Structure 1
Amino acid sequence: MAEQARDKNESRLTERGRATRERILRVAADMMLVKGVSSTTLDEIRAASGTSKSQLYRHYPDKDALVRDVVALQAAEVLERHHQLLRRLNSFRGLERWRDAVIERNALRNGAYGCPLGSLASELADQDEEARRVIAAHFGTWEGLLEAGLTRMKDSGVLRADADAAVLATGLMAALQGGYLLAQTTLDVTPMRIALDMAIDHVRTYAAPADDGVPPHGGSTGR
């Protein structure tokens, strides 16, 4: 019901109102990533977004409403990014390209601030049951992108038939999130690369036997 009401209110906004709402949301997402949800106040968001109190509270009557939209925004952007990286995944080379893209993006800030969605999860999961469920669903979608790629690797004969795509996807996701945390605490993406390399090496243990001298990770270079 709350989501339907929010969608209805959104449809009534003028172009200027939508721009104001978007500005508030973007500022809030950036500040909450850097400072954390609990340390970010509505007054700080109002000042940084250049909006009045009446404008802020017209769009977001309380902080919880704003946090919900920040979660939705971060999840949408993370999932879209990984969808682009994983939508054609069907080879080990594609898995390596995904790894490289994730690490290169995280290296832009030397690992600072961690995963945008994971950071929200670590702060909200034990405090807000609704937020925990929503974030868990987003992580399920994210893991599903990996599982779908691994399933394609099975279907194309890159992985053996006994490879459990769901289990392997969970392992890759755990390595990714652990890598984000280690990179964040050390300000160095090296631990992230090690974690993902080890997870991918485990996936390789399920590689189908090579045919005619072609290595199991050969073939298509699907992303």
Structure 2
Amino acid sequence: IHPWPPIELVGQLVSHVALGRRGLIESDEQGDMFERETDRFELDAWAKLELTAWMSVDQSAILAAPLANVSEAQLEACHDALIVASTIGWATYIVALATLPISTDGGPEGAVLDWAPGPWTPVRSSVKAIRVRSDEHLATERERWELLAWRSTLFQDDESINIDQQALEETIAELAGQSLVETNGQDFIAARGKPFGALPADDLAQIAHEAELRLKTLNWVCGFGETPVSAPLFLED
């Protein structure tokens, strides 16, 4: 594991928070249209000064788009960006939880929204306050999310149900006595004590989506990949 330097962690975190804020501005339909567009314009102008080193062309285009001119896919990317940001926030103690929740309640995302600088604060002024979790802690959480992401891929194909069941049983047996993932001896336990297999399809799909985002981000934090978006999901990939 070779975590990225603090400036890179902060740059990616703040860039993803900026995208998240753009999504929140777009979704705030009760707010004054002029004030929302002013907020969007300032966010975009500030990002052009402070965040160009960390934002892709597609991400910059989302910030630059006037209100009511983002697609559903772009709006979803804004929401996803907050999951990415909160994962980096966990790695840098901004999210002060022992582990990240399997299904977010919005708390970790709120923490990075509160912490991250915005217009017109220099990003580099936040770097000195950053502490990165230990390699051991990062590796443990990365392994935890690798297991959760893997579990989310099981039982999708009727033809492989028996194979998936055997793999799950073997993995749970290997995890006995460990605290990586909570199990009931038959399945992984998700939020509120429910096993994965008892969750509604929509809930399971959301967990799978968040698990993929968090695992890729943790892989990036640990030095695998150039950006959270381009980082591999499973390292053997």
- Shorter chain as denominator, the TM-score bin is under 0.3
TM norm structure 1: 0.25
User: Which structure shows the bigger proportion of residues in helix conformation?
Assistant: 1
Larger radius of gyration: 1
